[in-house]
Structure 1
Amino acid sequence: MFKALASISALLASVALLIVGHGLQGTLLPLAAQQAAFSDLAIGLVSSAYFVGMVAGCLAGPFVIRRGGHVRAFAALVSLMSAAALLHPVFVDPLSWFLIRVISGFCLAGFYMIVESWLNEAADNRNRGMIMSFYIVVLYTAMMVGQISVSFIGIDSFIPFIVASVMVSLAVIPLSLTTSTQPAPITIVRFRPVKLYQTSPAAFVGCLLMGLASSAVWTLSPIYGTQIGMTTTEAAYYAAAFIGGGVLGQWPFGRLSDRMDRRHVLLGLAFATLAIATAIALIEPRTPWIATLYVVAVGAVLQPAYSIAVAHAFDHATPTDYVETSSGLLLSYGIGSIIGPTGASFAMQTIGPSGLYLVVAGVQLLTIGFIITRLAARATPAPEDKRDFGPEATSPIGAVISPEPVTEDELAGQAVSGPA
């Protein structure tokens, strides 16, 4: 175990440094935009821009990596992301920030692809789950540290933008100096939504709706916090609590889905999210600690749904389609994530802070309705056709992670072609 972890220690160090900088920006930018008198809708559009860039990066990133190789592509993308962080205090207007966030999202998508292809290369049947588990722990821990760090730095100057840029820039050092073997060229697959929908309608539509709801809470929770009377520090902890709740819910709900039809688990999570979101919208939390407990609960039942939907799709996919299925579901999630912040910010601007959770509740109603129709249309998979829920399904990108090793003969059937 220690030998396997030592071989990827430099990679995990790069992940930790960059995600701290990314998490810092995730909380900083909505608060700084609010301080700069951006409207709620403008903040939502800027938040959606990040996911526009991420979807573009998922489609074009593999070509960048194949052209320059993993190390050079990594250095280029991280350098560009670092520069983008510094541009925020230079051009303080919604259009500029929209374009800057598109760049950041594109770079981060490429970053995840490089890191996860490297991890996939380092893993084998014996340690795949352990390696991916450590990766997920590092990822979420760094994200929360970055979000909370706003409370120590403040948002009244350009200093937090510099700190974010420095953390991202430092991420180049560990990976650039690693002696680990560079992975094989990344696999490029097509996005075929019709085929993906035919394979698993519940997973395809479910990921789209989950992206819509989850992205809205993740990007706008700092704004929600300040609008209900939280200080900047309290809003930063509130935003981090949503991620923390997701960490708490991933494994137990994932393991539960191994023992029954995963769609039943998705349905239960949607009902739970609907109940909590409706309660928050109708009975606005009066104290920061109660609000934080609420958002932990939302994170615990909302965020695991994506992982379970991915696992459900894998239950119906063939081994040669795992990579295409994973990347396709990610794109579906990304498209929903583009819509979520803009729609929720419009609701907040029109209704007030409760609009955020009314949107989340509305999305859950759509999810519940669709899953019920799918339960009536398709039988539960036989136990022998299901694969165990694994940590690789919780990956935020997963476009190049195969849930199980695929042989060279199986991969030979995947023609390398551009995104459709």
Structure 2
Amino acid sequence: MASPLRPVLSLLLGAAFILAGNGLQFTLLPLSGEAFYFSPSDLGLIGSAYYVGFVGGCLVAPYLVQRAGHIRAFAAMVATASATILGHILVVDPHMWMVLRMVTGFCLAGLYLIIESWLNDRATNENRGLIMSAYIVVNFAAITGGQMMVTLNPITSFRSFAIASVLSSLAVIPVALTRSAQPAPLAIVRFNPLPLYRAAPVGIIGVFMIGVANGAFWSLGPLFATGNGMSVDDAAIFMSLAVLAGALSQWPAGQVSDHFDRRKVLAVLLALGAAAGFALWKAPMHPTTLMVLGVVFGALTLPGYSLAAAHAYDKTPAGGYVQTATTVLLSNGVGSIFGPALASLLMGRLGPSSLFLFTAVVQLLLLAYIVLRIMVRHPTPKADKSAFDLPATAPVAGPIVPPEPPAGGSTGDGPRPAA
């Protein structure tokens, strides 16, 4: 019997290459920008620019796929993303880097949507869990591996940027040569947050605020590490450990939220995550201490998006899953635009450690809002909940668009929120 993964191996391999290249960039660019004497505010805006492009890509990419097809659109976006990586080392200017990161974010959004919609189309109710679990493993393994590649060469050398470009370029080969049939064009859905806000205010406000906090962490976390005496190698390990801890804690957090009010589970994680943030803000500048706290922070903070998105899906009526997925994805992306820019201003005034003061304050603000909502609205009955499933993408991406359940029933797959 053929393996259920065989028809999607080329897609998984392509995803591994593009995610490894993107993971390398997320650590390489802030560290190299710091070495080139970019200001904290410049580095924050560079981080925000990626999410500006990402939001734009989510809105425009479906039209490009409809025009050119999945494979051609994928090849064009990979080529563009690979070229922009080299542009960073050819033109060392913060304003140019902002433009390049915006282009990268646009391309990555399109690539995620293409890969995930294609995987979803190839999956059946019998093998969907296996395929998406394999995709999750590829996501976290590739991003972690990419982050660790920053240790191979000096951060300002051409080789570091060339490796990221080569990894991204390789992604097109298995996808271009696949014999797997292309899926139907991506659905075009308008961004309309008001209906979801009325149905699940904690869901949409939650993913937005979590985007503010986590977007700052992803963009500026390496600067916190080096600013507190860590080497470049230690900074890569710090980010990788936090990501892995967040990946491992997704499932238990989600399972607990299936049995209790998801808002309360999210509130507990926010409170503990804020405490970890305050500890990182005031912790002694010792690499081991900071890494341990980074693991705790990642484990408590990164699952938050999954829980907020799952709460939104709980309130989604049949036929509205694609609309909810779009709204959740874009709301998180918009929040991620603000996070790096605002946190960098604070870091410029109070130092690198204030990154986690920023994340803690954002988490406490969201915690206060959730407590208020718990007081005024009853929890979702357990019978009405969608079963929590692991996130389908890395925390820096967005949720896969879940398949619509058949009329009168559920797919059994549950929502597929991400980080």
TM-score range, shorter chain: over 0.9
Instruction: Give the distance between the partners of 2:392 and 2:152, measured in 1 at CA.
Output: 33
Instruction: Work out the CA distance in 2 between the residues paired with 1:403 and 1:374.
Output: 29
Q: 2: distance between equivalents of 1:285 and 1:165?
A: 37
- Equivalent residues in 2 for 1:227-242, closer than 5 Å: 227-242=227-242
RMSD: 1.8
Measure the CA separation in 1 of the matches of 2:394 and 2:150.
25
Cα deviation for residue 391 of structure 1 reads 2.2
What's the % identity of the aligned pairs? Answer: 44
Instruction: Name the CA distance, whole Å, in 2 between partners of 1:13 and 1:55.
Output: 25
Matches within 5 A, 1:130-145: 130-145=130-145
Q: Distance in 1 between matches of 2:350 and 2:317?
A: 46
- CA distance in structure 2 between the aligned counterparts of 1:339 and 1:26, rounded to whole angstroms: 17
Aligned equivalents of 1:97, 1:408: Cα separation in 2: 50
Task: Note the 1:313-324 alignment, pairs <5 A.
Answer: 313-324=312-323
Q: Is the CA contact (8 Å cut-off) linking 1:266 and 1:308 kept in structure 2? A: yes
Contact 1:50–1:104, Cα closer than 8 Å, also in 2: yes
- Contact 1:246/1:304 (CA < 8 Å) preserved in 2? yes
What number of residue pairs does the alignment pair up?
409
Shift of 1:242: 1.9
* C-alpha displacement of 1:403: 5.4
- The answer for the alignment partner of 1:148 in structure 2 is 148
Partner of 2:189: 189
Matching residue of 1:121: 121
Equivalent runs, 1:227-306 vs 2, <5 Å: 227-282=227-282, 284-306=283-305
CA contact under 8 A between 1:28 and 1:155: conserved in structure 2? yes
More deviation in 93-102 or 398-407? 398-407
Residues in 1 aligned to 2:407 and 2:127: alpha-carbon distance in whole angstroms: 17
Q: Give the match for residue 199 of structure 2.
A: 199
Is the CA contact (8 Å cut-off) linking 1:273 and 1:302 kept in structure 2?
yes
Please list the CA deviations of residues 370-408 of structure 1 after superposition, one character each: whole Å capped at 9, or x if unmatched. 101111121111111011101256565556521554569
Trace 1:62-77 onto structure 2 (pairs within 5 A). Answer: 62-77=62-77
Q: Is the 8 A contact 2:152 2:160 kept in 1?
A: no
The alignment's TM-score, normalised by the length of structure 1, stands at 0.94
Question: Any conservation in 2 of the 1:187–1:400 contact (CA below 8 Å)?
Answer: no
Q: Following TM superposition, by how much is the alpha carbon of 1:133 offset from its aligned partner in structure 2, in angstroms?
A: 1.2
2:259 is matched by which residue type in structure 1? R
Give the corresponding residue for 1:40.
Answer: 40
Q: Contact 1:276 / 1:297 at 8 angstroms: preserved in 2?
A: yes
Counterparts of residues 39-58 of structure 1 (less than 5 Å): 39-58=39-58
Letter in 1 for 2:184: A
1:119 & 1:405 partners in 2: Cα distance? 17
Shift of 1:409: 13
TM value normalised by structure 2: 0.94
Q: Within 2, Cα distance between the matches of 1:279 and 1:266?
A: 20
**1:87 is matched with which residue?**
87
State the shift of 1:289 in Å: 1.8
Q: Check conservation: 1:266, 1:309, Cα contact below 8 A.
A: yes
Distance 1:295 1:244 in 2: 11
Cα distance in structure 2, aligned partners of 1:352 and 1:214: 19
How far apart are the structure 2 equivalents of 1:408 and 1:380?
23
Is the partner of 1:401 in helix, strand or coil? coil
2:212 is matched with 212
Query: What whole-Å deviation, never above 9, does each CA across 1:252-306 have from its counterpart, x for those lacking one?
Result: 1011100111001110000001111111212x23321221111111111111010
In 2, Cα distance between the equivalents of 1:27 and 1:250?
Answer: 22
2:210–2:332 contact (8 Å) kept in structure 1: yes
The answer as to whether partners of 2:132 and 2:392 remain within 8 angstroms in 1 is no
For residue 340 of structure 1, report the CA deviation from its aligned partner.
0.6
Unaligned runs of 5+ in 2: 411-419
Distance 1:151 1:320 in 2: 47
Distance in 1 between the 2:204 and 2:156 partners?
A: 42
- Structure 1 distance, partners of 2:332, 2:156, is 34
Q: Which runs of 5+ in 1 are unaligned?
A: 411-420
Tell me: CA distance 1:269–1:2, structure 2 relative to 1, closer, same or farther (3 Å): farther
State the one-letter code of the partner of 1:121: D
What aligned pairs does 1:359-374 form with structure 2 within 5 A after superposition?
A: 359-374=358-373
